[in-house]
A and B are shown apart, each in its own frame.
Chain A
Amino acid sequence: MSTLTRPPRVAADSPVRRRTSRRLSGRKGAYKGVLFALPFLVGFLFTYVLPIAYAFGQSLHEKKSSGLGFGPTKVVYTGFSNYSAILSDGAFWSSMLRTLLFGLVQIAVMLGISLLLALLLDGVAARAVRLFRAGLLIPYVVPSVVSTLMWLFLYSPTISPIVDVAGRAGVHLSLFGGLNTYLSLGNLLTWQGIGFNMILISASLQALPRELYEAARLDGAREWRIAWSVKVPNITGILVLTGMFSLIGRLQLFAEPLLLRYVAPESISTDFTPMMEIFDKAFKTGNYQYAAAESLVLAVVTGILALVFYRVTNRKMS
């Protein structure tokens, strides 16, 4: 019996031994991998992890004074009191909601136009594609501050040629206030973003196998039908990706409304977007601790929304 049982025991041993030896060689490989990743990891640590950890540390503190409030201050540990204050900070959450709702509409419009343009470009000759693509990319290449300034001059109530022409025609035109604020800002952001998103969509259209179209044509499909039933379903991946990038970008909206505030201060308040509110808290009033907490909350909300968006759209696709 004992002689019979021995061989299987050895046989059972060997795969274990093989597994450990594989793990060993894997570890050696991991060292090499870490070495290669080191430049990135060091950069990531110093420019992401540490600043975020520092910001988190700051967010757990508050600045306290005494007496009449002048002279030396103490930064004291107050736990999550900044966070609980943020939870009931109506202005912060309404800026978040405002940016989100505005972003959803604006992104849908922008991606819709980008998709349309990409589909149109996909239908024309290769030389024309290059020309149009370069032309539509220009708004993206122009630094956003420059293009915002350009639109600012077009929107300004005092020097805008649009307002001026309307005025001569007897129409008192205001490009800000109420819905107009969002239309003006949305127009600017759409103008900036169309080209870039179109390039991405266009590139993934080019990657589709041409045989698909041929098959569709043999089945009697016309061009618009091919576009809608063959091309679009095959590029949902890139649409989700551009949608998610745009959503993250919108939640962090900052420079454009900050500049437009120059000509429309009563319509674009200092807490118009979460980033503007954080900027104001940190650098106008010097409350770094609260601003740090706000930025972490914004980061978490953005992360959650991006994840939810990705999950939902992914599920739809499959």
Chain B
Amino acid sequence: MSTFRTRSVTGAAAALSLSLVLAACSGGSDSDSAAETGTQGKVSLEFWSWTEGIEAQTKVWNKEHPETQIKFVNAAGDTVYQKLRAAVTSGDAPCLSKMDGMNLANFAADGLLTDITKIAAKYKASYTTPAWNSVSPGGAAYGIPTGSSPLFTAYRADLFQKYGISAPRTWDDLIAAGKAVQKKDKNVKIFNMAGEDPSTLVDLSWQANAQWYKVDGDHWAIAFTSPEALKAGDIVQELVDNDLASNASYADPGVFKTWDLGSTILMTTSTWQLPIYDTNFPKSKGKWQLADAPLFDTAHPQTSSNFDVTAVLKGCKYPDRAAQFAAWLSSSKESLTALTDPASKSGLFPAVDDVSPYVDKIIPTDMFNGKSDSANVITTAASRVGGQWQYGPDYAAMYSEMQKQWGKVMKKQLTVKAMLTHLQDWVLADLKNKGVKAVAGS
């Protein structure tokens, strides 16, 4: 693959020369740059996204806001974050781009984003606390939340009845149910954990109120081995030790068969996946039911969520207008009504406090048996997302390190506790090497 390396470098060179040309072209026109007090006059901003339905919304915005024109670029593809990095490095970055919380932290840590803390302050109140956390790692804001995906449970109600179990309320319930099912048919699993995807452990830790990374004054407190984190790890360990989970990879083209054919009978899922279930579960249509995500502590119910965000990149000349647009996109009733309509195919679920107006429409019509209140489950999940989770400056590198170990955990070559102990040491060493202040937390 020596060609691969060469190609990326020549690509960067081409991008660089292109950006020089573009810079030369645009040099004269925007003399009224980055005023902190507010941009005057007409501006045009570039926005990269790969969410369906967003482009239509930018057209609506452009019609209503002639002074801030958004140039939409469909950036769909596996290499979008690499392209963004190259674009920022060459000075040719868009003003705004879609990201997830982990990548926003990663970009912010590499100095590739614009700090918009002051500008964004007035939009903060529109969003939930965990959503705002996802755009403000370390306290300073680098973007505006777009959507959330609170976690809840979907299970095969028909098979649950067959095996004589009910929807688990806690993780301990889930393990007990898994064991009960195994007694009746040892090939049937209660849960799935993919070998490439340690996000199961992230979700569990979030739900157990653990804090792997926590800002403590002027430094980070790192706690992969706190009692809460180990409690989450124990659940994974029990699932592995008792063979209660299947190991279908989410990248496997046949992954949905695992549930559709009934060999795995429960999954934790979220709003963004709902639109695809009708087509991917042809055999089990109408046999599904939703329930709240399993809990650690019923007295303090807590779940987890990934967040879609709109990040403001380094070099953006009009961060105030950029934030204004991003906030309109994800908090105005007009935009959210359009985006949560299944017709938009966005799969987006709002990150705002009151989600009740938007819930009903996103629920697939054919998938569920109608015996549980799906809308209520989703609203409950959205209200239960733990507000403590933070993304550290080396979260992406940590995640990559965890991915390597996670496969071994799934193959029983390593315990979860050993993995967490390793990550604790690894993160502290990595942060120290990067010149970031961090200590072991508890």
Contact = CB atoms under 8 A, between A and B. Distances in A.
Interface string B17-33: 00000000000000000
A265 B6 contact: no
Contact of A68 (B81, B85, B196, B218): B218
A47 B248 contact: no
Contact of A159 (B82, B109, B253, B392): B253
Given A264-B249, A266-B407, A69 B1 contact: no
Nearest to A46: B10
A208 interface: no
A212 interface: no
Interface string B178-202: 0000000000000000111100000
Contacts of B396: 284-286
B197 to A, nearest CB: 7
Interface in B248-300: 248-249, 251-255, 257-258
Contact of A156 (B140, B194, B253): B253
Interface stretch (B39-47, B52-60, B373-381, B429-437): B429-437
B220 interface: yes
A64 interface: yes
A36 interface: no
B196 A286 contact: no
Q: What DSSP secondary structure best describes chain A's contact surface?
A: loop
A179 B110 CA distance: 40
A91 B407 CA distance: 14
A140 interface: no
Interface string B387-400: 00000111011001
Greatest chain B CB density within 10 A among A48, A68, A262 is at A68
B222 to A, nearest CB: 12
Given A54-B9, A73-B110, A265 B434 contact: no
Contacts, number: 145
A270 B403 contact: yes
Nearest to B220: A68
Contacts of A136: none
For chain B, give the interface size range: 35 or more
B85 A158 contact: no
B304 interface: no
A280 interface: yes
B347 interface: no
A157 B248 contact: yes
A255 B220 CA distance: 38
Interface string A254-269: 1100000111111101
Greatest chain A CB density within 10 A among B139, B140, B247, B434 is at B434
A72 B253 contact: no
Interface in A278-304: 280, 283-287, 295, 299
Contacts of B4: 254
B215 A71 contact: no
A153 interface: yes
Greatest chain B CB density within 10 A among A177, A280, A284 is at A284
A284 B251 CA distance: 17
B436 A270 contact: no
B9 A51 contact: yes
A99 B158 CA distance: 47
A156 B254 contact: yes
B137 A47 contact: no
Nearest to B401: A285
B106 interface: yes
Contacts of B82: 283
A64 B111 CA distance: 11
A313 interface: no
Contacts of A177: 411
Given A284-B396, A286-B397, 12 more contacts: A54-B9, A64-B434, A65-B435, A66-B435, A69-B109, A72-B111, A158-B248, A158-B254, A267-B195, A269-B407, A283-B79, A286-B110
Interface of B: 1-2, 4-6, 9-10, 79, 81-82, 85, 105-106, 108-111, 115, 137-140, 142, 194-197, 215, 218-220, 247-249, 251-255, 257-258, 392-394, 396-397, 400, 403-404, 406-408, 410-411, 431, 433-437
Interface of A: 46-48, 51, 54-55, 62-73, 91, 152-153, 156-159, 177, 252, 254-255, 261-267, 269-271, 275, 280, 283-287, 295, 299
11 contacts: A48-B6, A54-B9, A65-B435, A68-B220, A69-B109, A71-B108, A156-B254, A158-B257, A266-B196, A284-B400, A285-B400
